[in-house]
Amino acid sequence: MVKKIIITGVTRGLGRALAEEFIRLGHIVAGCGRGSDGILDLRFKYSAPHSFDVVDVSNPTKVGIWGAKTMGFGETPDLLINNAAIMNAPAPLWEVPSEEFARLVDINITGVANVIREFVPAMVAARKGVIINLSSSWGRGVSPKVAPYCASKWAVEGLTKALAEELPEGMAAIPLSPGVIDTDMLRLCWPEGAEGHAKAETWAKVAAPFILQLGSKDNGQSLTVAGFEG
């Protein structure tokens, strides 16, 4: 069955790889990202019914406009993936500028809530669908110099588990750790070790089928894509 999939943060990294793998598998993807160049590239590569828009998820007005456009076709999403996130420049917590901390929280936590607020009511009304909020091993453990990122992913874990208890039977909300993948984000905080791990495209070939089989039986569970635990 063809699924309608919403993904945030599709211009690069895991989001881009997931979007392209879902499309390859025959599903319909509506994605957003902050980078206009990346969005234009996706638009040229994948025509309708797929759609891609420049959206800053931390801005509820812009998320609302995107949601109205995306939901205007009358199709309730089968799968909503909150992937958009940023990493702080590695530093002890007391050295992280307040503006950088606030921006990270706005995208990594508030952005997730903004997207949920826009798309989940229709899913609840239809009593169907799966919400995947991308977490991290740093949402279940910690490392030095990435305290803001750890805090945001711990928040995603708690937010998602609480949401799971609010959903009607038949739906699911799942905090999903992708595992350890060689991305720009990992290279920022672990430059000497990132290249030893799988690339995003390799990961997506496993992650996409894994995500597609998730359902109400997995509601509220903290999961990790198998084989990429690190």
Catalytic positions, written as ranges: 149
**Dist. CA 121–CA 64, nearest whole Å:** 13
Judge residue 220's burial from the number of C-beta atoms within 10 Å of its C-beta, 0-12 exposed, 13-18 middle, 19 or more buried.
Answer: middle
SS3 230: coil
Q: What DSSP state is assigned to residue 25?
A: T
Residue 4's beta-bridge partner residues? 28
Whole-angstrom Cα distance, residue 22 to residue 81?
12
- Name the DSSP letter for residue 142: -
Helices (H), the chain: 13-24, 36-45, 60-71, 98-105, 111-126, 147-166, 184-189, 200-212
CA-closest candidate to residue 124, choices 81, 64, 73, 169: 169
Closest C-alpha among 48, 118, 50, 49 to residue 82: 118
Q: How many other C-beta atoms can be found within 10 angstroms of the C-beta atom of residue 1?
A: 6
DSSP state of 83: -
